[in-house]
């Protein structure tokens, strides 16, 4: 601390701190206007002690005046050079009853943030100078320190329901006139959007399927739909299984409607070269970002997503390849930690997170092959943490003699998208035509049924 203090004095405003304390002594009712202010936001130890004494008296519903405050201060303050009564009277002299306390609180809070940033800088410097430190961990540690300071700036308050009702009513009126302005993201498939309206901010959406059914392709189709529709939103795809080159090839094949075999061999005819150029141009205009790091953790994802300017949709492919920060000796607990952390990530960043997951194979001899919620692998917490669970099912896949991959099938296949859980509405089923060579899902328009979720 001395190395910084020797250069410059820590940011603070003695006048603002005195004004706030004086205003609280004169009119304790103003305490309700500064609920976000903490003792540590004050710079001088004397002011911290006085503020703490005022808060305790206020919490005990005791009268706050010079006499009671001096008595409370003397119980906790150890500084021998403080004439408590004299200093508290001085504070009262610089305050007026109708002072602009909100503005002074803002000054105190901002100075406090600057001091915390200085302290964080020192800690980061010490970590960086430690030659034995892991660079990746140091970067994550640095970002966490800074983001924690930013998060502490905002305090959640109890909100009267009347205020929220008014806000919601105004939002209803606005959305009725501007239906495309909904804050979530639409999937690009009208039948799915009838169930969800949109994938909302804070939603954890799970897409599950057995190996080879086409869950990665489905997730990529959703990413492409969102990317083409929302030019202002950043879409982040975290692929733990496939490389970014493979994913982009699939997106190109889907957008250009050129089979994957041709794309991989680059054996395009003249017409396909034009379709390829057009597809590449449209894809380049989207704000899709791809990370193909293996063994990625939720902390890694948070760090990378926060660097985006306007994150709007996150896709992770897939859950069973992820590693948690703890419980590595117990996979069930580890998966539980991962899904819980991803739900918190979606809520904190206010974006929908789509998580791809493998499903367990049905036991032999079971007639009903369609997946169910109990087929989610490794942990029941997956179902608990997810707001929406979609499961893909192909009857031809289960009836085939050998498993087929996304690229191995030819022609059109019918895929059922079973909405097994929907926290916001009905469950049901949407049918898709799936074209394996093009990695493309096309919705089959037909009437749909749904059942209320219990």
- 110 and 21 in a common domain: yes
> Tokens representing 231?
């030019």
- 381 and 256 in a common domain: yes
Most confident of 28-32, 230-234, 330-334: 230-234
pLDDT of residue 226: 93
- 209 and 63 in a common domain: no
Whether residue 167 is contained in a domain is answered as no
CATH of the domain at 367: 3.40.50.300
Mind listing the pLDDT tens digit for each residue in 168-197? 888 788 778 877 666 688 888 988 988 988
Whether residue 227 is contained in a domain is answered as yes
Whether residue 203 is contained in a domain is answered as yes
CATH of the domain at 26: 1.10.860.10
- 348 and 224 in a common domain: yes
pLDDT of residue 412: 75
Handedness of CA 248, 254, 260, 266 (dihedral sign): negative
> Tokens representing 284?
């380049």
Judge whether residue 155 has pLDDT over 60: no
Whether residue 10 is contained in a domain is answered as yes
- 104 and 188 in a common domain: no
- The residue among 115, 146, 163 that closes a domain is 115
- 71 and 206 in a common domain: no
Closest to 381 measured CA to CA, from 448, 331, 335: 335
Give DSSP secondary structure letters for 100-155: -HHHHHHHHHHHHHHHHHHHHHHHHHHHHH-TTS-HHHHHHHHHHHHHHHHHHT--
Instruction: Please pick, among 241, 275, 383, 453, the residue that the annotation labels catalytic.
Output: 241
Mind listing the pLDDT tens digit for each residue in 282-323? 999 999 999 998 878 887 888 788 888 889 999 998 888 887
Average pLDDT, the chain: 81
148: left (phi over 0), alpha (psi -120 to 50) or beta: alpha
Mind listing the pLDDT tens digit for each residue in 103-144? 888 899 889 889 988 988 888 888 888 766 677 777 777 877
Whether residue 134 is contained in a domain is answered as no
Mind listing the pLDDT tens digit for each residue in 41-84? 899 888 888 888 888 887 676 788 888 888 888 777 655 445 67
Whether residue 390 is contained in a domain is answered as yes
> E strands, 16-156, where?
none
- 399 and 275 in a common domain: yes
- 221 and 327 in a common domain: yes
Whether residue 425 is contained in a domain is answered as yes
- 190 and 74 in a common domain: no
Task: Give the pLDDT mean for 2-31.
Answer: 78
> Tokens representing 148?
């924690």
- 194 and 104 in a common domain: no
pTM score of the predicted model: 0.67
Q: Residue 241 catalytic?
A: yes
Share of the chain above pLDDT 70, in %: 81
Structural domain range at position 80: 2-115
Other Cβ atoms less than 10 A from the Cβ of 231: the count is 9
- The whole-angstrom separation of Cα 88 and Cα 41 is 19
- The residue among 93, 115, 137 that closes a domain is 115
- 443 and 300 in a common domain: yes
- The whole-angstrom separation of Cα 379 and Cα 340 is 11
- The residue among 115, 140, 161 that closes a domain is 115
> Tokens representing 264?
């991989």
Share of the chain above pLDDT 90, in %: 22
pLDDT of residue 401: 41
Task: Give the pLDDT mean for 351-363.
Answer: 85
Cis peptide before 318, with omega less than 30 degrees from 0?
A: yes
Judge whether residue 451 has pLDDT over 50: no
Whether residue 416 is contained in a domain is answered as yes
Q: How many domains does the chain have?
A: 2
- 391 and 259 in a common domain: yes
More confident residue, 97 or 17: 17
pLDDT of residue 126: 83
Q: How many alpha carbons lie under 13 Å from residue 191 in its C-beta half-sphere?
A: 20
């Amino acid at each position: 601390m001395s190395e910084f203090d020797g250069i410059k004095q820590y940011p603070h405003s003695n006048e603002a701190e005195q004004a706030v304390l004086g205003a609280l002594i004169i009119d304790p009712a103003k305490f309700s206007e500064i609920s976000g202010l903490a003792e540590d936001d004050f710079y001088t130890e004397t002011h911290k002690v006085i503020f703490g004494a005022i808060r305790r008296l206020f919490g005990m519903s005791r009268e706050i005046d010079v006499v009671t405050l001096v008595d409370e201060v003397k119980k906790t303050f150890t500084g021998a050079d403080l004439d408590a009564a004299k200093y508290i009277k001085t504070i009262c002299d610089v305050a007026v009853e109708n002072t602009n306390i909100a503005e002074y609180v803002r000054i105190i809070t901002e100075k406090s943030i600057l001091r915390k940033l200085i302290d964080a800088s020192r800690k980061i410097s010490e970590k960086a100078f430690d030659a034995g430190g892991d660079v990746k961990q140091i970067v994550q540690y640095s970002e966490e320190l800074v983001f924690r300071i930013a998060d502490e700036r905002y305090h959640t308050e109890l909100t009267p329901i009347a205020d929220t009702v008014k806000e919601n009513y105004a939002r209803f009126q606005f959305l009725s006139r501007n239906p495309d302005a909904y804050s979530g993201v639409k999937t690009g498939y009208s039948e799915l959007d009838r169930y969800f309206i949109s994938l909302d901010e804070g939603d954890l959406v799970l897409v599950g399927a057995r190996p080879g059914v086409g869950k990665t392709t489905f997730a990529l189709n959703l990413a492409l739909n969102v990317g083409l529709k929302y030019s202002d939103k950043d879409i982040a795809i975290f692929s733990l299984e496939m490389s970014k080159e493979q994913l982009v090839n699939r997106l190109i094949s889907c957008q250009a409607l050129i089979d994957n075999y041709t794309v991989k061999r680059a054996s395009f005819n003249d017409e396909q070269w034009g379709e390829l150029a057009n597809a590449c141009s449209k894809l380049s205009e989207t704000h899709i970002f791809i990370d193909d790091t293996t063994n990625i953790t939720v902390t890694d994802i948070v760090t990378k997503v926060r660097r985006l300017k306007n994150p709007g949709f996150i896709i992770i492919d897939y859950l069973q390849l992820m590693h948690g920060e703890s419980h590595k000796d117990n996979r069930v607990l580890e998966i539980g930690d991962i899904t819980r952390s991803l739900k918190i990530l979606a809520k904190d960043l206010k974006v929908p997170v789509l998580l791809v997951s493998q499903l367990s194979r049905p036991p032999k001899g079971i007639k009903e092959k369609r997946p169910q919620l109990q087929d989610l692998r490794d942990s029941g917490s997956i179902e608990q943490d997810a707001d929406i669970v979609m499961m893909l099912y192909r009857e031809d896949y289960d009836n085939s003699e050998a498993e087929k991959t996304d690229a191995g099938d030819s022609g059109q296949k019918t895929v059922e998208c079973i909405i097994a859980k929907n926290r916001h509405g009905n469950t049901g089923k949407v049918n898709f035509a799936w074209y394996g060579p093009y990695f493309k899902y096309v919705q089959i328009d037909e009437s749909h049924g749904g059942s209320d979720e219990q």
